[in-house]
Chain A
Amino acid sequence: MGINTVIFIIMSLLVFIYIFNTFRNGRKIAILWELFFLGIYACVFVYALFPNVFGIFEGFFGISNILNFMTYLAIFLAYFLIFLLYQKDETQRVDISKLNRELALLKKQLEDNKVLQSSKKSKSKIEKK
């Protein structure tokens, strides 16, 4: 058993334990993501133990080497994750803008009310005099 195989197995087991713990603790966020990574690391685990299993993909995409296939897959996934991050960032940007706007409008409302109240007070003082 080579060092790569050991690393792959340890990495996969750590991910399995992490995902199992999050399920056990009842955290329901990003279940789809956890399943997605579970699938990925299950593949890594199987590949570590039985490297020839993925031989069926060889030549399927015109890629003769399984290592190349995995590199392309990793690059594709990295781009996909960047795209998702951009989208998340965009959603948060819109939310921050809404919050910013409401704060600005609230401040304006408070300032207007202050002006109104002070003008009422000064009016009543003049009337009393």
Chain B
Amino acid sequence: MNKDVLIVIPGYNEGKVIFNVIKEIKKEGYDNILVVDDASIDNTKQESLRAGADVITQPINRGGPGAPTMTGIIYARREGFNKVVLMDADGQHAPSDIKKLLKDSDKYDVIIGSRMISNIKDMPFVRRFLNFGGSFVTLFFFGLFVRDTQSGFKVLNRRAIERINLTYDTFEFCSEMIGEIYRHNLSFKEVPIQVIYTDHSQSKGQSFSNGLKMIWKFLLRK
């Protein structure tokens, strides 16, 4: 097995879309795809295996993408992969952008696919507002300003794979990862990506109440 790039997709009840997401990634020439199933109650695992991905199934649902993402990173660390591409399972990330993100991953430890550089007008207002809020909350708690802290599309190189440790189970992991970049003095770059908004992807993701919960959880840890 070529252990250069591993695509990690954390997923929960994504049976409807995961097959196509994996097939589209495979079309771009990436064969090492790992779906970390957060104890889905639908056919996410079967659909992922049918599409030709590897699957790790967590026995207990942890309520968000943070825990499965860290599981994917640890798998890559132990299996000796050089790079990890983190993508959402809902199909909002274009697989054609993977190449763009990987391009600079030798120079930078972390590449963040940013929705806030271009195509910002296409983003629904609530998401735009939440992302701006997330950036300032992250700056306050973790000391680093990133335009799109809540992006799930990232590339980590080996240095980052070995250093980053995430402890939050849900969406707070995005901000925590920015904190890990700052803590370990990792270099990073934001690269513009396209986002595909579908009804399915809009139904997932963050809400205002999630944002408040996030702040509460950060306060508990500080």
Contact = CB atoms under 8 A, between A and B. Distances in A.
Interface of A: 83, 86-87, 90, 93-94, 96-97, 100-101, 103-105, 107-108
Contact of A90 (B36, B60, B75, B221): B221
B75 A100 contact: no
Contact of B67 (A83, A97, A107): A97
Given A97-B70, A101-B58, A107-B57, 4 more contacts: A100-B58, A101-B67, A101-B71, A104-B57
B59 A104 contact: yes
Contacts of A96: 60
Given A97-B62, A97-B167, A100-B59, A105 B75 contact: yes
21 contacts: A90-B220, A90-B221, A93-B169, A96-B60, A97-B62, A97-B67, A100-B60, A100-B62, A101-B70, A103-B58, A104-B56, A104-B59, A104-B71, A105-B56, A105-B71, A105-B78, A107-B56, A107-B57, A107-B59, A108-B54, A108-B75
B74 to A, nearest CB: 7
A100 B59 CA distance: 6
B163 interface: no
A3 B67 CA distance: 54
Interface string B143-177: 00000000000000000000000010100000000
Interface residues of B, number: 19
Contacts of B167: 94, 97
B200 interface: no
B3 interface: no
B16 interface: no
Which 6 residue pairs spanning A and B have beta carbons closest together?
A104-B58, A108-B56, A101-B71, A100-B60, A97-B67, A94-B167
B77 to A, nearest CB: 10
Among A87, A93, A101, A105, residue most surrounded by chain B Cβ atoms (within 10 Å)? A101
